[in-house]
Amino acid sequence: MLTKKVSKRKLIKIIGFSALGSMSYGLFNLLSENRYVKSKWTGIVLNNETELVIHSNNNKNNYLLYGQVSKFVSHVDNIFNLQNPNSEIAILNRDKVLTNPSPYLIEVIKKSQIISKNTNGLFDVTVQPLWNFYYNHFIIEGNVSHPNINDLEDIKKSINWQNIIVENNIVKLENNASITLNGIAQGWVTDQIIEILKKNNIENTLVDFGETFALGKYENIRPWNILLRGYNNKNKVIKLTNKAVATSSPSGTIFEPSNKYHHIFNPKTGLSKSNYKTVSIISDKAWLSDSLATSALLLEKDKLLPLCNKFKAEAFILDSEEFKKLIEEKGLEKDYPDINK
């Protein structure tokens, strides 16, 4: 039995700045270089290693900012962390109803529904029962044989993004549904951190909270160099300024040695599925890149292209020997949803 777990942030490696010592949650290191000071904060957010790099000439402000960041991520952990039994999402999955949920939870659920609607349900946050099914079969029970697909029939009845009802400040899960927001929440948290920094006049920073946002420029000189780490070390360097990037791959979590069963699930069949080895999505919002990168693995190119165009995003796909850019930004369609709400 083989289990290979690689968080999505491991697929994106930041290059172009000096290596700084690893720090524990809420701590940081400072290095002076020219007139800018590079400071780095690292920690664990929603069970993922995270990193924040700021280039500024105000050390004291950086100290205060890291305090704000620590406070915020502690708060959202109590909302979105599935492994925290007291989090809002854990309580919702257990009780199937949550009264007076955090506005943050409602916001992220509604954003997920935008992507679900625009991918014909291929992005579906109600796939948590599938994760539980495969995890229990391969990891908990230690089976090496493939699971009985007939056992999926009852589970599939609970998998439908429309099983999530949000009304009158109440969230309900119908048909015994359970949700995971891991395919969008990390990106959303990244966007919120960017807003905190911008309100404090930070113009050049790199935030990697599971998904990456490059604000401004590296040392206020050039775009940030981002290494897209593809399957089997098939990598590509891109340059980013004021953009977010998220990368997804079926190799992120593999349940068994044949690689047939992994964490990218087709909600309609209940089976693991991926059309590509790796996909990276670049857009104006990290939550959007995050959710599109997950759903992109399930889409054929002729479907992925218009989806990215609609959301003003760019896709890099790895399906053979190298990353290839799938689209150029082509503007918005008339029915483009307001992703800033």
Q: Domain extents for the chain?
A: 4-80+187-325, 88-173
In the chain, the DSSP E strands lie at 4-5, 12-15, 28-33, 36-45, 48-56, 97-99, 164-167, 170-173, 205-208, 212-215, 224-229, 235-240, 243-248, 253-254, 278-283, 314-318, 323-325
pLDDT at 57: 67
pLDDT at 148: 85
Give the tens place of pLDDT for each residue, 249-281: 887 787 777 778 888 899 999 888 989 999 999
pLDDT at 35: 57
CB contact set of 43 (below 8 Å; sequence gap of 6+)? 24, 25, 26, 49, 50, 70, 73
pLDDT at 272: 86
Domain 4-80+187-325 has CATH 3.90.850.10: no
pLDDT at 333: 39
pLDDT at 224: 92
Burial environment of residue 233 by CB neighbours within 10 A (0 to 12, 13 to 18, 19 or more): exposed
CB contact set of 84 (below 8 Å; sequence gap of 6+)? 77, 78, 90
Q: Is the pTM of this model over 0.85?
A: no
Strand partners, 253: 5
In whole angstroms, how large is the CA radius of gyration of the chain?
Answer: 20
CATH of domain 88-173: 1.10.3980.10
User: CA 55, CA 206: separation in Å to the nearest integer?
Assistant: 9
Give the tens place of pLDDT for each residue, 175-222: 999 999 999 999 999 999 999 999 988 888 888 877 899 999 988 889
User: CA 27, CA 332: separation in Å to the nearest integer?
Assistant: 41
Asked if 41 and 182 count as a contact pair (C-beta separation under 8 A), the reply is no
Asked if 172 and 195 count as a contact pair (C-beta separation under 8 A), the reply is no
pLDDT at 96: 98
Kindly list the distances between the CA atom of residue 25 and the CA atoms of 7, 33, 50, in Å, as whole numbers in the listed order. Answer: 18, 24, 9
Asked if 270 and 258 count as a contact pair (C-beta separation under 8 A), the reply is no
Low-confidence ranges of the chain (pLDDT < 50): 1-34, 329-341
